[in-house]
Structure 1
Amino acid sequence: MYNVKIVETKEEHDDAFAVRKKVFVEEQGVPLHLECDAEDATATHFIMYEGNNPVGAARLRSIENEAAKIERVCILQDQRGKKLGALIMKEMEKHAISMNKQKLKLHAQSYAIPFYEKLGYTVTSPEFMDAGIPHRAMEKEI
């Protein structure tokens, strides 16, 4: 059984960062100083567990009065293909609605655009590089 929750404890925080490090730093080669940035201090972090094992993470930041930005969405490699990304996105959308946000924005790695499009996001920018990886901006009205 999978469970997504807002990070509340140091252990949950450490678990979320361990998942992010494994996916972004070890798997994708993003330098640690770019993966962990100043925005982590004020973002709302989400962790996904399978039982007691952390398998996914993400963060959400308020960026404008009516908008929030979804960032650092990741699922461990051996857990992909189980619709877990959609599950964590749904929980972040619920939280954004509870914050009275009307729009969600994100920067999707280009290969992941079809995943976000299935969730109702629309591409809003040409491709750009971030941490050496091609991305495109996307957004969704909620």
Structure 2
Amino acid sequence: MTMALDLLVRLVQTPKELEDAFFVRREVFVKEQGIPLPLEQDEYDEISQHIVAYHEGEPIAAGRVRLLDAHVAKVDRICVLPQFRRQQVGVRMMQKLEQYATRTDNDYDVHVIKIYAQIHAVPFYETQDYRITSPEFIDGGLPYRAMEKRWLFVK
């Protein structure tokens, strides 16, 4: 069993934190996976709530969430630098994104979170109670499956 990293996972609130999130995304999606930058950074960046995780003051993971409607949120661009994978960083990232999306201090009643998971990440999301909702499809040259998690609660 791996010891949990000393990790600070926070909602992005400053331009520096946003640049830190974009740095991690470029490292993982553009440099490691070969996704073209114009596909990786998109129009949804402006309307999403971003998160970033820091270890010893350095950004190591990122993600974002946006509302699709009053009941459905979409989580995407979840990424962790390679040397920090398999150390529960992804779990902490998903907890923070889900906590933000389902918070009760707004006018929304989110009870479904959708995600497009790269095929290699599907087992991870299944451990987080996400279920596959689509056949395999290609996006940006990589294979994905649509997944979602549902909550049954009332505000």
Tell me the TM-score range normalised by the shorter chain.
over 0.9
Runs of 4+ in structure 1 deviating by more than 3 angstroms, as ranges, are none
Q: Within 2, Cα distance between the matches of 1:141 and 1:63? A: 15
Q: CA deviation at 1:90?
A: 0.5
Counterpart in 2 of 1:16?
21
TM-score by length of 2: 0.90
Letter in 2 for 1:20: R
Letter in 1 for 2:59: P
Q: Does 1:45 align with 2:50?
A: yes
Letter in 2 for 1:82: Q
Q: Does 1:134 align with 2:143?
A: yes
Q: Does 1:117 align with 2:126?
A: yes
**Percent identical residues:** 42
Structure whose alpha-carbon radius of gyration is higher: 2
SS in 2 for 1:135: strand
TM-score by length of 1: 0.98
Q: CA deviation at 1:97?
A: 1.0
Q: Does 1:71 align with 2:79?
A: no
SS in 1 for 2:102: helix
Q: 1:42-71: per-residue Cα shift (whole Å, max 9, x none)?
A: 000000001211000000010122010000
Unaligned runs of 5+ in 2: 1-5
Q: Within 1, Cα distance between the matches of 2:123 and 2:138? A: 18
Letter in 1 for 2:67: S
Q: Within 2, Cα distance between the matches of 1:24 and 1:110? A: 14
Q: Within 2, Cα distance between the matches of 1:113 and 1:3? A: 25
**Aligned pair count?**
142
Q: Within 2, Cα distance between the matches of 1:91 and 1:13? A: 16
Q: Does 1:29 align with 2:38?
A: no
Q: Within 2, Cα distance between the matches of 1:112 and 1:139? A: 13
Computed over aligned residues only, the root mean square deviation of the Cα atoms, in angstroms, reads 0.7
SS in 2 for 1:126: coil
Q: CA deviation at 1:106?
A: 0.4
SS in 2 for 1:34: helix
SS in 2 for 1:58: strand
